[in-house]
């Protein structure tokens, strides 16, 4: 059981993975920090590798929708007559 816990803990998100997720999801560091309820400097330090990323962060990120949702850009709905 201990080896399973160690594997899970050691497989935490890497700084470049967090930065990629944030960029692809359309958030700035400041926006992500506000959503997570942490300081901007925390997100910055996680992305630079200055601080370890919390092992549970990947779970929190799964609950955050990408910016823009399902909107289709450039299209408008036509009114029925």
What are the angstrom distances between the C-alpha of 1 and each of 5, 10, 56?
6, 14, 19
Q: What is the dihedral of CA 34, 37, 41, 42, to 10 degrees?
A: -130
Could you tell me if residue 55 is inside a domain?
yes
Number of domains in the chain: 1
Q: Is residue 1 part of a domain?
A: no
Residues 52-79 have pLDDT tens digits of 999 999 999 999 999 975 444 444 444 4
Query: Is position 70 within any domain?
Result: no
Residue 42: CATH number of its domain: 1.10.260.40
Stated pTM of the model: 0.70
Tell me if 69 is assigned to some domain: no
The pLDDT tens digits of the residues spanning 3-51 come to 545 445 556 899 999 999 999 999 999 999 999 999 999 999 999 999 9
- Tell whether 74 is covered by a domain: no
What domain range includes position 29?
9-62
19 domain residue, yes or no: yes
71 within some domain? no
């Amino acid at each position: 059981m201990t080896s399973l816990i160690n594997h899970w803990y050691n497989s935490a998100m890497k700084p470049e993975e967090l930065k990629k997720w944030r960029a692809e999801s359309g958030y700035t560091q400041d926006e992500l920090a506000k959503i997570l309820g942490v300081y901007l400097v925390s997100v910055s330090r996680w992305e630079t590798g200055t601080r370890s990323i919390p092992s549970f962060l990947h779970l929190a990120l799964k609950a955050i929708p990408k910016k823009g949702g399902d909107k289709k850009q450039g299209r408008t709905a036509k009114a029925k007559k």
